[in-house]
Structure 1
Amino acid sequence: MSGTSTARFRLREHGLSIAFAVIFLAALVGQSFAGLAAYNEDQIAHHAATVGWLDFVTSSDFVVDVAENWQSEYLQFFLFIFATIWLVQKGSPESKKVGDEGLGTDEEQLVHEYARPESPAWAKVRGFRHTLYSNSLLLVMGAIFLASWLVQSLAGQVSYNQDQLEHGQELVSWGGYLVSADFWNRTLQNWQSEFLAVGSMIAFSIFLRQRGSSESKPVGTPHHETATEAE
């Protein structure tokens, strides 16, 4: 296989992650320019100086908007991963079969003596490393959520205090901002949309199909069947 063919094959192997990385970057850049235009329109309306793109993308206004979306997305994944350990939804491909709740056996999880030769090294060991790796997806999603939420709160405080200054009102501390209506309005308006999207996906996938998608059961699978394999 030639070098070009090998490179194309590798791109094909990782097409899903590459495609979403490109879409993400395009959307983020688009948001920065649209946000800059909206920000400068507001500045002009208030007879204030406009700013350039670099100043805008490093401003609290842009950072808080980005961070509040990131934290809600990663909270969604964190809760969904955790919930699907213990909760099931009969008929949904997003769920394990009824009766399969819990962490699973070592044999099912291919760990310790049941690990395969090609299994990750930390799946074969016991102790702290095994526990850490066994929960690594949940831990990373939770860590990104908390980090994004922290950034949102810090940038949000700066942005909020800028508005307070413009209106001649008192500044608030970080702790004060954490219990403010502005912080929780920003937070909850994102959370509710994420929870709605996840819940809808779980429910719709029981009765609706998309041929060729791994997020859907095969078209002919009965509605009541949770997993794609026969009961």
Structure 2
Amino acid sequence: MKRIRDNSLGLFFGLLFLIVLVGQAFAGHADFNQQQMAAGMEPVTLGRYLTSASFAADVSENWQSEYLQFFLYILLTVWLVQRGSPESKKPGEQGRDSDEKQKVGAYATAESPSWAHRRGFRPALLSNSLGLVMGLIFVASWLTQSVAGAAAFNEEQLRGLQAPVTWAEYLTEPDFWNRTLQNWQSELLAVASMVILSIYLRQRGSPESKPVGSPHDATGVEG
């Protein structure tokens, strides 16, 4: 029970993700078959839909926008600040911080990860690992979306007796950028809202909020 409690946040969101993904699969399958029948074609099984380009494109286009949000936020908060936001460093503290503050090299403690004690590429890799992984997942999701989206687009083209396009040609299609930008704008709006609203609004007990009695201009983790 202690292990579950200590990991309850990750477990909860992981379970919620699976529930929502299953819900999307069933709802997407029903919607896909409605479109099939409207076009005078046979409906497909759930298994066939789950391996279709349409399902892959729908899933990956949301994933890539989420990881783009995290990737940009992780990197930009190193150098950019928002006075009064608990999501920001204090003005004047921008940058990568000293080795002492980051507990790297000679300042690493017994509890620090082993690579924090090393020299060479390993501490540098550890120092940038979060941004790198988020960026790689974004790129992988974006590539998956573009490939699956091209296949789904070509299915529609063939149904309409139009010529299919290559992957490179699909990257210039309005369909691709409509799918991409409608997700990007929603994620960027959500980040901007969180950064700005957390200046003036509070959620007692949440690490994403300042203490209720903190002044509006208190920045970072100030109490």
Query: What is the CA-CA distance between 1:227 and the residue it aligns to?
Result: 2.6
Determine the structure 1 residue equivalent to 2:188.
Answer: 195
1:98 is aligned to 2:79: no
For structure 1, the residue ranges without an aligned partner over 5 or more in a row are 1-7
| Identical-residue share of aligned pairs (%) | 57
Match of residue 150 from structure 2: 157
SS of alignment partner, residue 102 of structure 1: coil
Say whether 1:83 aligns with 2:68: no
Pairwise CA distance, 1:61: 0.4
Tell me the CA shift for residue 213 of structure 1.
Answer: 0.7
Contact kept, 8 Å, 2:61 with 2:179, in 1: the verdict is yes
Counterpart AA for 2:175: D
Matched with 2:199 is 206
Structure 2 CA distance for aligned equivalents of residues 40 and 131 of structure 1: 50
Alignment deviations for residues 75-102 of structure 1 (CA, whole Å, 9 cap, x no partner): 0000000000000100000001111100
**Taking structure 1 as the reference length, what is the TM-score of the superposition?**
0.95
* Map of 2:4 onto structure 1: 11
- Runs (4+) of structure 1 moved beyond 4 Å? none
Is the 1:221–1:228 contact (alpha carbons within 8 Å) kept by the matching residues of 2? no
Taking only aligned residues, the RMSD between alpha carbons, in angstroms, comes to 0.7
Identify the range of structure 1 (9-18 vs 45-54) with the bigger mean alpha-carbon deviation. 45-54
Q: 5+ residue gaps in structure 2? A: none
1:54 aligns with one of 47, 51, 65: 47
Q: Take 2:221 and 2:111, find their aligned partners in 1: how far apart are those partners?
A: 26
Q: CA–CA distance in 1 between the matches of 2:53 and 2:199?
A: 42
Tell me which residue corresponds to 2:217.
224
Structure 1 residue 158 displacement after superposition: 0.4
Of residues 65, 77, 80, the one that matches 1:72 is 65
The answer as to whether partners of 2:210 and 2:222 remain within 8 angstroms in 1 is no
Give 2:162's match in structure 1, choosing from 158, 162, 169: 169
Quote the Cα distance in structure 1 between the aligned partners of 2:111 and 2:95: 25
Report how far residue 41 of structure 1 moved: 1.1
Give 1:228 shift.
3.2
Corresponding residue to 2:122 among 129, 140, 145: 129
